[in-house]
């Protein structure tokens, strides 16, 4: 059941396939709004979900420190990708695309741990948890796909890479099964991933939407924030 649930969650990565049935002009416009949505979702998701949960599980000072470490780590990773991959190639895939995959991979691994641990409690609890996680993953993965394409990645490659990143959920589920419950060490991934999400939102996505029709992107940005707040209220944690 854990394998089935986490693999179904992985398939959500293909939600971006709907863009193949739309004309290019509409897709380009959609990608811009998805970037704005993703910026809001990452900003509020990193703070309200990952960091907030980490503070409940570990010392707040430690959580904030690891968040800063995550923020700085993603900054150095982006700089490394730029100088070693994009410095001499104007048409290369922007580093933010790879940061999205890294951050989302960590996030999905944690989701897998949660799904796996919930199934160890009971099948019904596991099913409910899986539905809730998939429910908030659909718009988030669509937003991630939009960022990958907007960052210069071809749509087909973006789908595949997003799927590979999403499959870390399966690894998380398997890990939870063999450990018996989510390992305490994995708790420290929460604030680290939060720092990465905050960096991507603040340093890459927000400046990007400010360059082009910033006023038009505000509604999508706000919707992204409100969506994550709504998920927080529904989950009640």
| CA atoms within a 13 Å half-sphere pointing along the CA-CB vector of 149 | 25
Burial 33-56 (b: 16+ CB within 10 A, else e): bbbbbbbbbbbbbbbbbbbebbbe
User: Would residue 19 count as lying in a domain?
Assistant: no
Residue 49 lies in a domain: yes
Q: Mean pLDDT, to the nearest integer, of 169-186?
A: 74
The per-residue pLDDT for 65 is 95
Distance, in Å, from the CA atom of 57 to the CA atom of 32, rounded to the nearest integer, reads 36
The pLDDT value recorded for residue 87 is 47
Mean pLDDT, rounded, for 174-198: 75
Q: What is the pTM (predicted TM-score) of this model?
A: 0.68
Whether pLDDT at 83 is above 70: no
Residue 8 lies in a domain: yes
Residue 193 falls inside a structural domain: yes
| CA 105-108-109 angle, 5° bins | 85
For the cut 50, the answer to whether the pLDDT of residue 85 exceeds it is no
Residue 57 lies in a domain: yes
Dihedral of the alpha carbons of 64, 236, 114, 220, in degrees to the nearest 10: -70
C-alpha span between 218 and 199 (Å, rounded): 19
Rg over alpha carbons for the chain, rounded to the nearest Å, is: 17
Examine the pLDDT at 190 and tell me if it is beyond 70.
yes
Structurally, the chain folds into a number of domains equal to 1
> Is pLDDT above 50 for 84?
no
**Dist. CA 12–CA 126, nearest whole Å:** 18
| Average pLDDT of the chain to the nearest whole number | 78
Q: Give the domain range for residue 164.
A: 2-14+25-235
**pLDDT of the residue at 61:** 94
Report if residue 201 sits inside a domain: yes
Q: Cα(first)–Cα(last) distance of the chain, in Å?
A: 25
Give the lowest-confidence range in 64-68, 70-74, 100-104. Answer: 100-104
On whether residue 222 sits in a domain, the answer given is: yes
| Mean pLDDT across 87-92 | 50
CA dihedral over 104, 87, 150, 7, signed as positive or negative: negative
SS3 assignment, position 180: coil
Share of the chain above pLDDT 90, in %: 7
In a domain, residue 20? The reply is no
């Amino acid at each position: 059941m854990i394998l089935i649930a986490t693999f179904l969650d992985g398939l959500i990565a293909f939600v971006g396939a709907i863009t193949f049935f739309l004309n290019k002009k509409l897709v380009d416009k959609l990608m811009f709004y998805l970037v704005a949505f993703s910026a809001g979702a990452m900003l509020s998701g990193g703070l309200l979900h990952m960091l907030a949960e980490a503070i409940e599980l570990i010392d707040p000072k430690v959580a904030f420190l690891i968040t800063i470490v995550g923020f700085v780590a993603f900054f150095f990773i982006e700089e490394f990708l730029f100088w070693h991959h994009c410095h001499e190639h104007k048409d290369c895939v922007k580093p933010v695309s790879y940061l999205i995959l890294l951050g989302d991979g960590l996030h999905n691994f944690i989701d897998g741990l949660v799904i796996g641990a919930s199934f160890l409690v009971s099948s019904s609890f596991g099913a409910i948890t899986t539905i809730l996680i998939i429910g908030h993953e659909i718009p988030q993965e669509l937003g991630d796909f939009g960022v990958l394409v907007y960052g210069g990645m071809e749509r087909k490659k973006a789908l595949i890479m997003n799927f590979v990143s999403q499959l870390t959920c399966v690894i998380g589920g398997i890990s939870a099964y063999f450990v018996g419950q989510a390992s305490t060490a994995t708790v420290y991934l929460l604030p680290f991933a939060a720092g990465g999400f905050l960096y991507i939102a603040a340093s890459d996505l927000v400046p990007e939407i400010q360059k082009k029709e910033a006023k038009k992107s505000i509604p999508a940005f706000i919707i992204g924030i409100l969506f994550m707040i709504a998920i927080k209220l529904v989950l009640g944690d």
